[in-house]
Chains A and B, each alone.
Chain A
């Protein structure tokens, strides 16, 4: 592990930092986690001795509680916002700690005095994986009354989805319902959240500061050291806002010629980036929009493309900086206002119609239906900034070293008029980016999707479709580790001959004994459809025995249908073979989740 990034807001001298880096560079994740706790303990006892550089406590003021910034993040956005808020609080000298919901014991909530929640929303208004446990307990009222707790919630979401920021709204409602005091108003921020999040953070922290005395205690300092250590884990200097210019080395279709799906195996060369990732992490891809799509948008709005915008000439700005393939409701309502088109206005006034359109069309399709002469600034004002797409990494560095592999399903939607609309990033990788061309990438770490620390622990993997990706990485890692634990894969797709992703690799793993069991569901190879959840039920007894033997269970793939059906199947299996009531089965699964033995990466 090589650390090249300077520690953020570090109180260390250059020399100290170098020494720290040297030590940290030799540690694995588990060791780092232990060290962070060790350092915390050390700082607690050493504080009085003054051997650690800490801010002087405000004389004579005992801190009236402390602020906990709690985040529930899947792609890293909520974590980023929460981290910034923590820094703001710290700059005011407030005692603050930053915790992921995944690492947070729900019962702890009763002991909090001040709480800022930053949480994103997934799929059809669902909480991110790391937030599920806390969310469920709050929802069911299991945490009791929370009077005396002051809180504010910032929700992140994507207004192109129907249940925009639903999880933020839910947390806000649950906390209020439990009797906690809302100290600042709920924010529901869209994909272009950065500026608004900063402003909200400043205001919310100010509101907190009115009821929470600055403490400047050791806690703050240690939080920053612990935070710095956490930041440093395998993180290179490259991140979302500063992606690494990597090279595409392989773009290979891995579905057969008669498949209804176009799924690509993508290999990207990370040489000289120093980027480190672990199985379970995701790779962010910045992409360019299709120039011909941009051409269509320009033609439909009567623009030339050379008009100046804040992001450069319009054509280039549309290619590189604005979202064209993911429609959002604001575009429709905004266009209705600007164009004055009566039919569009009618449509924009009907939420159901807007949602239906958002789910099925792109910006260009709306413009085709409702052409409007627009100024460059007007067009840009309707569009949201382009956001990178995240893909679960399909490789382990123990196997592929300075490469990163992805399994990308190319999104292609046929339109009523016969044209084909493609997903922005997937078609960029599959169709437009030549091999050896530059692609801007960054790693989004996901500590909530990790192989068990103990290589002897059995692993159950459920990954239909492109959900197979992280499990390819898992198997590479387990093979490299020489892990003795058993591995069981559940995979499904439409057809055996066309859609058995990485078939020859799984055959090799079965032959070598690395993969102990494989359960396959090819939904359309027989009269009735068979899915992975059916295979889970069929193998229920053995599956339950594996769980009882301590297996970790992973699910990756489609959030809307698969993950829900799989969860239902798991509950059925646990209830049937564990002779449990429905409620006991739910508790069993929650316990697995809390123990990080049931982890999901669903999208």
Chain B
């Protein structure tokens, strides 16, 4: 493989002492560590040492109930350690039979008894005790689901636009999402050995990821314009479907998006993905592998804060990175094919696909399927799963589509959805455009509330909109509990990034299509302060907007904030 095309002397790996995570990956024996021994340790519900990190490569995070951490310390008990599992579900498709299995497991073996749909188009179990982890993986395996590489320094769950209307195109795109996911999966048998009691065969190899895996997490999408529900600019590698007469012919490839940053560290910033150009279908897997392997070899393994693909691109230059990919894949990117994004939200309610099947998109607030008082959402989903003949599609906006309903079944499905509170005509447009990550009490990284503060906060925003006679309008509003950004607040019109309990950084100025990063407007302010600011600004928007101008465009035009154009250089500009 030639590296002659490297045009900048900055290309190549970063020199310096490696981050400790590099040691633990290297010493992990292809992600095994001593996880198996820890499962036998009766003294703690947690994992020790490196295993705490290594289980992430197997799709789990060690968490605890942070609400009662202090209480348990006083009780001389360790934190209520448990794991969160994130399933691998390329394109978010899950069958009713699989749903019934995961419903039962969540009910019987998780502390919270819920299924959480996430922005990665998959589901999470929260609060599984160590003693039930093996059972969990075996249960999932029994129904054809795994959680390999949904976290950790690997290519994670591959997203795919939930487009039930153009069913053929979606089917093709989905197949690619699945193929890419499988192509980039770790090849180690650690998962099979540890969780499924698989035979120890030895001879592990990682031809694409390498034995040290990637420098940092890596996220991939397949998107079908004009719908940008997957938020390509939050992802490292994106395949934009290009169709000709409804038939998929190839992809525009965009590389180096990502939203994570670190408070107080201006060497970190959200960044949009860069256009690399068009490739035909025949080169998809080679290009995917080449992007991953370039990032594998050139990504920063010295500082994890600067290890993502977006920083590699900024360091070596987009052209150098692209040339390396072309060299490794043995192809040349063609000129970018034209495409347009017009929206990101889900199309709620019934739609009919070109195949004549019907699809019902349900709004699931925060993606949390739980039996709430008077609103037994989880039971409702189970009842639907028992009768539904098509499949379910989880969206990147944490919602759910009941897909492939024959016309004669529509009424029954809708009745069930209404009966259990899954379908509610009273939900405002604003609420449907609002999203939050999980945050407290389970996420160890959360600095402030997100999921739990969202419902009431959205009610307040609804009040502001009504006050200014904009009740039918909506603002893309997102809350993320920490600057890692699972809630994708860095692509919202109004984004809150958790800073401390009850305090957030307020960002303004994203757009509807998700192609502009919002700028920091006020730092470290309280919820009442945020609402006061929004009251003023929504009031101005009501009076001064141009036609149907969205809120994010308005605050830019009105000079409330300057647009972020080239975030590597202007995100922190005054």
Contact = CB atoms under 8 A, between A and B. Distances in A.
A542 interface: no
Contacts of B129: 496-497
Contacts of B131: 496, 525-526
A520 B42 contact: yes
Contacts of B68: 257
Interface stretch (B70-78, B265-273, B369-377, B504-512): B70-78
A257 B129 CA distance: 16
Nearest to B77: A503
B45 to A, nearest CB: 7
B80 interface: yes
B76 A254 contact: yes
Nearest to B74: A252
Contacts of B74: 252
B526 interface: no
A511 to B, nearest CB: 9
B78 A503 contact: yes
Nearest to A498: B77
Q: Chain A contact residues: over half helix, strand or loop, or mixed?
A: mixed
A497 B45 contact: yes
Contacts of A253: 75
Contacts of A416: none
Contact of A520 (B43, B73, B75, B80): B43
Contacts of B73: 504
Interface string A496-537: 110011111111001000000010100001100000000000
Nearest to A499: B77
Given A497-B129, A525-B131, A254 B77 contact: yes
B42 A504 contact: no
B43 A507 contact: yes
A496 B45 contact: yes
Interface in B124-150: 129, 131
Interface string B42-64: 11110000000000000000000
Contacts of A150: none
Contact of A510 (B43, B71, B80): B43
B43 A254 contact: no
Contacts of B44: 507
A377 to B, nearest CB: 47
B43 A504 contact: no
Contacts of A123: none
Contacts of A502: 76
Most buried by B among A252, A497, A502: A497
A385 to B, nearest CB: 36
B76 A518 contact: no
A506 B72 CA distance: 15
Q: How large is the interface on B (under 10, 10 to 19, 20 to 34, 35 or more residues)?
A: 10 to 19
Most buried by B among A255, A256, A507: A256
A510 B43 CA distance: 9
A413 B68 CA distance: 27
B77 A257 contact: no
Contact of A256 (B42, B43, B75): B75
Given A496-B45, A497-B129, A518-B43, A256 B72 contact: yes
A265 interface: yes
Contact of A504 (B45, B71, B76, B80): B76
Contacts of B72: 256
Nearest to A259: B75
Interface string A244-287: 00000000111111000000010000000000000000000000
Nearest to A503: B77
A81 B73 CA distance: 45
A501 B72 CA distance: 11
A257 B43 CA distance: 19
A257 B69 CA distance: 12
A539 to B, nearest CB: 13
Interface string B429-442: 00000000000000
A501 B76 CA distance: 7
A254 B75 contact: yes
B52 to A, nearest CB: 15
A518 B42 CA distance: 9
A327 B567 CA distance: 78
A505 B77 CA distance: 9
A252 B75 contact: yes
A466 to B, nearest CB: 14
A253 B44 CA distance: 20
Interface in B312-328: none
Contacts of A507: 43-44, 78
A36 B75 CA distance: 44
A421 B73 CA distance: 29
Most buried by B among A500, A502, A518: A500
A525 B45 CA distance: 13
Nearest to A501: B76
A506 B71 contact: no
Contact of B76 (A496, A505, A520): A505
A265 B80 CA distance: 19
B336 to A, nearest CB: 54
A526 B109 CA distance: 12
B139 to A, nearest CB: 16
Contacts of A510: 43
Interface in A474-506: 496-497, 500-506
Interface in A535-563: none
Interface in B63-100: 68, 71-78, 80
A256 B77 contact: yes
A510 B41 CA distance: 12
Contacts of A255: 75
A43 B42 CA distance: 57
Contacts of A501: 76
Contacts of A500: 77
A510 B42 CA distance: 12
Contacts of A506: 43
A520 B72 CA distance: 20
A503 B77 CA distance: 5
A267 B80 CA distance: 25
A17 to B, nearest CB: 44
Most buried by B among A253, A501, A504: A504
A510 to B, nearest CB: 6
A526 B80 CA distance: 18
A34 to B, nearest CB: 39
A535 to B, nearest CB: 10
B74 to A, nearest CB: 6
Nearest to A519: B42
Nearest to B73: A504
B204 to A, nearest CB: 32
A507 B77 CA distance: 10
A504 B45 CA distance: 12
Most buried by A among B44, B77, B78, B80: B77
A520 B75 CA distance: 19
A252 B74 CA distance: 7
Interface in A336-357: none
Contacts of A254: 75-77
Contacts of B78: 503-504, 507
Nearest to A500: B77
Given A257-B68, A518-B43, A525-B131, A503 B80 contact: no
Interface in B13-47: 42-45
A257 B71 contact: yes
B438 to A, nearest CB: 21
30 contacts: A252-B74, A253-B75, A254-B77, A256-B72, A256-B80, A257-B68, A257-B71, A265-B76, A496-B42, A496-B129, A497-B45, A497-B129, A500-B77, A501-B76, A503-B43, A503-B76, A503-B77, A503-B78, A504-B73, A504-B76, A504-B77, A504-B78, A505-B76, A506-B43, A507-B44, A507-B78, A510-B43, A518-B43, A525-B131, A526-B131
Given A252-B75, A496-B131, A518-B43, 4 more contacts: A496-B129, A497-B129, A510-B43, A526-B131
**A-B pairs with the 6 shortest C-beta distances?**
A520-B42, A254-B75, A503-B77, A502-B76, A254-B76, A504-B76
